[in-house]
Amino acid sequence: MEQEIRACLDQKEYREAFERLLPEFQNKVFRLAYAMLGEAGAAEDMAQDVFVRIWRALPGYRGQSSLSTWIYAITRNACLTALRKAGMKREVSMEEPGVARAVEERGSATGAGAGIDVLSFLNQLPEKYQRVLRLYHLEEKSYEEVARLLEWPMGTVKAYLHRARKELAEAIAQGKIERRTS
Amino acid sequence: MACPEFEDRLIEYADIEGEARACVDTHLAECAGCREFLEALRVVDTELAARFTGREVSAAFAPAVRRRVEREASARRLSFVPEVLDFVGWGAIVALLGLMAWWVLPLIPAFNTNQAALSLNSALAAGGAFLLVALVIGLRSLADLKR
């Protein structure tokens, strides 16, 4: 598929190229955004923004890296920028309501009432652990995909996963998290 | 709390097999702390898998992206200004060349006898070249718009 998209780009058929890459990459972009932002609604909004950016940038794509690498880099950068902005503002933004909301939720999860289940405790882990854990499950437990999407070495992904699962399990075992009975 | 010497193996429990697995199983049979830790790991994996596995974009996603891209494309419709400037520039160059021919050629003695005819021919040649360039630029602009 990537070859076909590249062929369209070589012929400057940008609309055709975009129509092919949208279904091919929409879920990958969404999952990467979800792993980074931690909230599905914000991730879908962000994925839309990413595809608009891709559309704008397509004429400038020179094929230095693979198309997927290029798209994932755009996604990561967009998410990091949005998180930074939302983190600085800490208020509801008309442009990025989802991200702002996600950061608010993350902020409130560290309060006194937090830690009632696995997910709320997950939100208290360091960002790198959260991302790797979410993406690991979003990507059907594929270390390779997690490493590729985040552009981290495989050893780093495995180490972070190991530590993140350990921290969560210890929290449960120590009774910090109430197990759900429903 | 899990025993420190077994903690790593419990975290990798699903991936270990054979003798290593048997060793962990033997230990689990007699250690409540490690059993509790392994159970907690299962809770973590089950909860996270239930929450995240198989998540995809909604059905409205692709149409929404297409609408935004369409709006973007409409807002960025190609401007005719560069083409018009291109046209004027080339026209000026061709007109200048025609004028130069009109001024310079009569000064050459060999051409003096036919000055009137030559001036007319120069003007016609300049006009023809001007129209040709205009046609090329027009076709190029059309191709750009189509793309």
Mind listing the pLDDT tens digit for each residue in B123-142?
Answer: 777 777 777 777 777 777 66
Nearest to A26 among B48, B49, B61 (CB): B61
Cβ of A22 within 8 Å of Cβ of B65? The answer is yes
Angstrom distance (rounded) from CA B121 to CA A143 = 77
For the cut 70, the answer to whether the pLDDT of residue B147 exceeds it is no
Residues of A with CB under 8 A from a CB of B: 12, 14, 18, 22-23, 26-27, 30-31, 34, 40, 44, 47-48, 51-52, 55-56, 117-119, 122, 133-134, 137-138, 140, 162, 165-166, 168-170, 172-174, 179-180
pLDDT tens profile A117-169: 788 888 889 999 999 999 999 998 899 999 999 999 999 999 999 999 999 98
Alpha-carbon gap, residue A91 to A116, rounded angstroms: 25
In percent, how much of chain A has pLDDT > 70?
80
Tens digit of each residue's pLDDT (9 = 90 or more) over B80-113: 666 677 777 877 887 788 778 777 776 776 666 5
> Tokens 């939720």 correspond to what residue?
A105
Whether the pLDDT of residue A108 is over 60: the answer is: no
Handedness of CA A44, A121, A138, A179 (dihedral sign): negative
**Euclidean distance between CA atoms A122 and B108, whole angstroms:** 90
Alpha-helix residue ranges (DSSP H) falling in chain B: 4-11, 18-30, 32-52, 61-75, 81-104, 115-146
Measured between beta carbons, which residues in chain B are less than 8 angstroms from residue A20? Answer: none
Say yes or no for a CB contact (<8 Å) between B44 and A172: yes
Of the partner residues A48, A140, A168, the one whose CB lies closest to the CB of residue B53: A140
What is the spatial distance between Cα A135 and Cα A146, in angstroms, rounded to a whole number?
Answer: 6
Predicted ipTM of the assembly: 0.73
Residues 27-66 of B with CB under 8 A from A: 33, 36-37, 39-41, 43-45, 47-49, 51-58, 61-62, 64-66
Average pLDDT score over chain A: 82
Retrieve residue A76's tokens: 């990561």
Q: Give A177's contacts (C-beta < 8 A, 6+ positions apart).
A: A115, A116, A117, A118, A121, A168, A171
* Res B127: pLDDT: 76
Contact criterion met (CB < 8 Å) for A47 and B61:
yes
- Averaged pLDDT, B64-86: 77
pLDDT tens per residue across span A80-107: 999 998 876 544 444 444 444 444 454 4
3-state secondary structure of A59: helix
Cα distance from A48 to chain B (closest Cα, Å)? 6
**pLDDT score at A106:** 45
d(CA A132, CA A150): 8
pLDDT of the residue at A136: 94
- A44 and B62 within 8 Å at the Cβ level: the answer is no
Q: What is the pLDDT of residue A110?
A: 40
The first and second tokens of residue B72, run together, are: 């973007």
